Structure 1
Amino acid sequence: MEQQLSARGSAARRRILAAAAEEMVATGDVEVAAVARRAGVSVGLPYRYFGTRSGLLSAIISAFYDRLDEAVTNREFDADTWYDRERARVTAWVDHLYDDPLAPVVLGRLGGDADTAGIEMHRLHKAIERGARNIARGQRDGDLPADRDPELLVAAILGGVHTAVAVALTRTPRPDRARVAAELWAFIAGAAGAGNTSERTS
């Protein structure tokens, strides 16, 4: 949609989206009138660019996962073994979520409307697909035991780490991010059968 807009329209759309993200961080919700006030535009303009409140919320969530995909999910980490590649991915994942102010709100949401739930389910399936490929590669390389179903394993791991990091992000004060990453990695490596993590070194 944004590609079809004029430069001025694209700038207005980005300003509204940024204001909506700020409103969601501040209040945990998105009300179109409040977003319009924050963006300094008329109440009707968000509807022009996003159609509905649900459309605006969907755009916020899509942008959140786009950033996460670029920084972590779709990133290639340069290391020789599954263990080192995925340990680096977990550290990058925790760092990214700790630094994104929307993360506590998006990860802590309990349900939503059909549009946003559909977006989140699609992103989850893409993450499972990518993670299953990574597990299968580790199995082919001999880094992981071959007797585990990659897709089921990744689905279970993602459910656990998603919930754990959502809890960490909402605690006051937040636990140290390096400790969170280390504890999550110990869980993931153990679930994947990567061996005794205490015997691994950088």
Structure 2
Amino acid sequence: MARAPLGRQQLLDAARAELVAANGVVDLNALKRRSGLSTGALYHHFGSKAVLLVAIYEEFHAGLVAAIADDTIADEHGWGPRERARTRNFVAYHFADPLAELLLGRISTEPEVAEVEAATLARIIESAGRNIRSGQESGELDPSIDPELAGACVMGALRHGIAEQLRRHPRPAVEDATEALWRFIAAAVGVEAVASAISPASTPAP
């Protein structure tokens, strides 16, 4: 992704670090110290702290979309292997970002972030429905499944499932977390989980 203008990116990077250090809280004085910029810079680039938090969430989501895009799983053939590979990329992306647990929990309760998150989830669910429908059209998924409903259920469970995995101590390995989530997804859409499993070596990292 293209980098934001320097002052703006400094604030984004500093706010991310501060959120992690302060368990989901951004204090303006701490942000000033960490970024080396004034409060005026914050208002110049974002207008408010809430808009800064929205920008962080949007940056996180853009990275997630890139990590699970079709071109990251282009070498996999068949709906099951492709979607298991996508699930692994989804898990690996969340496990690699120290902000993921906060963004799925405490920060998402901020009204401005929650509004953006709701719109983002709606787009993800719509995409999941199309993906399930494509599997039905190719004859790989049960045609009697309601693709939109299944997409909503799968994505809701996947979001809460990854949040649960992130909270665990010790945190499970990426492959173990992937397998646990994939077995649920496969069962939900009628795919044989074992038959569609792939080896870690054949899965591209996000």
TM over 0.5: yes
> Which residue of structure 2 lines up, in the alignment, with residue 186 of structure 1?
183
Q: CA deviation at 1:118?
A: 1.3
- What is the letter of the counterpart of residue 88 of structure 2? T
Please list the CA deviations of residues 115-157 of structure 1 after superposition, one character each: whole Å capped at 9, or x if unmatched. Answer: 2111101110111111111101100111100011111111111
Superposition map of 1:92-171 within 5 A: 92-109=89-106, 111-171=108-168
Please list the CA deviations of residues 157-188 of structure 1 after superposition, one character each: whole Å capped at 9, or x if unmatched. Answer: 11112112111112221112211100100100
The answer to which of 42-51 and 83-92 deviates more is: 42-51
Distance in 1 between residues matched to 2:152 and 2:90, nearest whole Å: 16
The structure 2 residue matched to 1:29, chosen from 22, 25, 37, is 25
Distance in 1 between residues matched to 2:108 and 2:39, nearest whole Å: 26
> Which residue of structure 2 lines up, in the alignment, with residue 13 of structure 1?
8
Following TM superposition, the consecutive aligned residue runs of length 4 or more in structure 1 with deviations greater than 6 angstroms are none
Distance in 1 between residues matched to 2:160 and 2:82, nearest whole Å: 22
The structure 1 residue matched to 2:58, chosen from 51, 57, 62, is 62
Q: CA deviation at 1:97?
A: 0.7
Instruction: Give unmatched runs, 5+ long, in structure 1.
Output: none
Name the structure, 1 or 2, with higher relative contact order (CA <8 Å, separation 6+): 2
User: Is the 2:107–2:113 Cα contact (8 Å) retained in structure 1?
Assistant: no
Matched pairs, number: 194
User: Is the 1:36–1:45 Cα contact (8 Å) retained in structure 2?
Assistant: no
Q: CA deviation at 1:201?
A: 5.3
| Partner-residue secondary structure (3-state), 2:121 | helix
Instruction: Give unmatched runs, 5+ long, in structure 2.
Output: 199-206
User: Is the 2:80–2:191 Cα contact (8 Å) retained in structure 1?
Assistant: yes
**Cα distance change, pair 126–68 in 1 and its aligned pair in 2 (3 A):** same
> Which residue of structure 1 lines up, in the alignment, with residue 203 of structure 2?
none
The answer to which of 169-178 and 62-71 deviates more is: 169-178
> Which residue of structure 1 lines up, in the alignment, with residue 202 of structure 2?
none
- What is the letter of the counterpart of residue 50 of structure 1? F
User: Is the 1:95–1:177 Cα contact (8 Å) retained in structure 2?
Assistant: yes
Q: Given the two structures, how large is their TM-score scaled by the length of structure 1?
A: 0.89
Identity %: 36
Q: Does 1:52 align with 2:48?
A: yes
Q: Given the two structures, how large is their TM-score scaled by the length of structure 2?
A: 0.88
Distance in 1 between residues matched to 2:56 and 2:27, nearest whole Å: 13
